[in-house]
Homo-oligomer: A and B are copies of this chain.
Amino acid sequence: MRRSNLFVPTSKEDESTAQVRSAELALRSGLVDHAGAGIFSYSPTGKRVLDNIADVVREHMDAIGAQEVSLPKLQYAEIWRKSGRWAEFEGEMFAFENREGKDMCLATTHEEPMADLVRERVRSKNNMPLALYQIGGKFRDDHPRNGLLRTKEFSMKDAYSFNSSEEALDEVYQEMREAYIEIFEKLGVDYAIVDADPSSMGGTASEEFQAPADVGSDEMAYCPAEDCRFGTLDFDETDCPECGETLVESNSIELGHIFKLGTRYSDPLDLTFDTESGEEKVIMGSYGIGISRMIPALIEQRNDDDGIIWPEEVAPFSLSVVPLNENEEIIEMAEEIHDRVGPSEVLYFEGDTAIGEKFAESDLIGVPAKVILGNTFLEDGELEVEFRDGGREFYEPSEFFETYA
């Protein structure tokens, strides 16, 4: 994409987002725009980042046989009253009457509607295990806090499993847990796994995936050893029980939460299947990942004085191309890179903005590599690639296109 065509709605941080590095960088780089207290618009680069995160999550959900669906965000009160959560969520859920005078709400989570969708369609052990998921907007009337970290509208992946026994649930729960580990590794986010209190969802067991960060809404003690991933809410523990390292305390960010729900929802919603000895209750699990929250979590962990440092899987563009002057050979090569690597992968800084500004903007946005076309190219015919995290490499053009095109 040519930089002159890309809409980048940059802004300075404002009062409500100040002191939060992720919000400051997301606003200054034009990734998002602050549309009001607790709501943000995603710009073209922000939408790309959001889609890249969702694609990684989707790929791993599909790989374990979960099927993507899309349930209405708008819900009638009835099933929420049946489960007892209409009252429980009061104040936290946007609720209103529709023109026919019926109570409706914006779903904060979808255990009830999912159970409703599956009821009568899962009639035997053979129909299970079944896992369904969706990726999309959720709404919660929280007090906005910490910029992008706590908002009134956000995007989540929420998955639900339906199982014929506790053992079958354990198996799916482990598969989801493994998938989460793979997802977070691929997204390049640092995290710990914390035994958590499942009571918020009424389940029997749960674990949180928490990202250590300077800001956040949660606290944990975690093991700083690479790849250990142990975390705990028991602040009396001082040493990691898995590797012995001294635990570190942090204001961490919840990235994901997986729950064994047991029959908490199938009981009140009458979700049953037939066995030889009569009807049994379906055993449920639910599994969430904050898609939009991954953005501030990654920025909090991956930034320097120049801006954001996206991992490759997430970056809005793979490469920037910066010609240092208007020499014909240089411009030809810049155009060739733009066309062959592809306009959707390349951010091409054409035009007569000062070189320093181009470099600074590419680094602020967080593009993982810059191809710099100047004297090195004219004299040696080599392409200079400067990586966002500091490295530098030189490529013959053919070698470059083999690597990137």
Taking Cβ atoms with an 8 Å cutoff, the residues of A that contact B are 5-7, 9-10, 33, 35-37, 39-44, 46-47, 50, 65, 67-76, 78, 91, 94-96, 98-100, 102, 104, 106, 113, 116-118, 121, 130, 132, 136-137, 139, 141, 143, 152-153
Contacts and interface: CB of A to CB of B under 8 A. Distances in A.
Contact of A65 (B5, B67, B132): B5
Contact of A41 (B9, B50, B71): B71
Nearest to A95: B96
Contacts of A100: 37, 143
B67 A7 contact: yes
How many copies make up the complex? 2
| Interface residues of A, dominant DSSP | mixed
Contact of A44 (B6, B44, B68, B106): B68
Contacts of A10: 121
A226 to B, nearest CB: 35
Contacts of A41: 69-72, 113, 117
A310 to B, nearest CB: 18
Contacts of A39: 72, 74-76
Rank and list the top 9 A-B pairs by shortest CB-CB distance, nearest first: A39-B72, A44-B67, A42-B70, A96-B96, A36-B76, A41-B71, A74-B153, A9-B121, A72-B153
Contacts of A35: 71-72, 75-76, 113, 116-117
A35 B153 CA distance: 22
A118 B143 CA distance: 27
Contacts of A91: 99
A121 B7 contact: yes
A78 to B, nearest CB: 8
Contact of A98 (B9, B94, B117, B130): B94
B7 A141 contact: no
A404 B253 CA distance: 46
Given A35-B116, A95-B96, A99-B91, A153 B50 contact: no
8 contacts: A7-B69, A35-B116, A37-B76, A44-B68, A44-B69, A44-B132, A95-B96, A136-B137
